[in-house]
Amino acid sequence: MVVFVFSLVFILSAHGVQAAGTITVGDALYIPNGTDVAVEGYIVGVPVGIDTVEQSNFTSDYALAVADDASETQVDDMIFVKLDSEYRSEYGLQNNPGLMGTKIRIDGTRDDYFAHQGIEYVTSLSKVSTDDGGSGDDDGSTYTGSYYQDAEGLSGYALKQSLHEIIDDHTELSYSNVWDALRHTDEDPSNSNNVLLLYSGKSYSKYDNGGYVDDWNREHVWAKSHGDFGTSMGAGTDIHHLRPTDVTVNSARGNLDFDEGGSAFYEAPGTYYDGDSWEPRDAVKGDVARMI
CB atoms within 10 A of CB 271: 23
Q: Of 199, 219, 202, which Cα lies nearest the Cα of 279? A: 199
Is 105:176 a contact under the CB 8 Å cutoff? no
Tens-level pLDDT at each residue, the chain (292 residues): 333 333 333 333 333 343 346 899 999 999 999 999 999 999 999 999 888 999 999 999 999 999 999 999 999 999 999 999 999 999 999 999 999 999 999 999 999 998 999 999 999 999 997 654 433 444 445 555 677 888 888 999 999 999 998 888 778 888 989 999 999 999 999 999 999 999 999 999 999 999 888 899 999 999 988 888 888 888 889 999 999 999 999 999 999 999 998 999 999 999 999 999 999 999 999 999 999 8
**The CA-based dihedral angle spanning residues 40, 45, 48, 50, taken in that order and rounded to the nearest 10 degrees:** -60
Is 135:76 a contact under the CB 8 Å cutoff? no
Is 77:69 a contact under the CB 8 Å cutoff? yes
How far is residue 178's CA from residue 44's CA, in Å, rounded to a whole number? 24
Q: What's the pTM value of the predicted model, to 2 decimals?
A: 0.48
Is the CATH number 2.40.50.200 carried by domain 9-127? yes
Sign of the CA dihedral with 70 first, then 25, 79, and 103 last: negative
Is 43:66 a contact under the CB 8 Å cutoff? yes
In single-letter form, the type of residue at position 39 comes to V
Domain limits, CATH 2.40.50.200, in the chain: 9-127
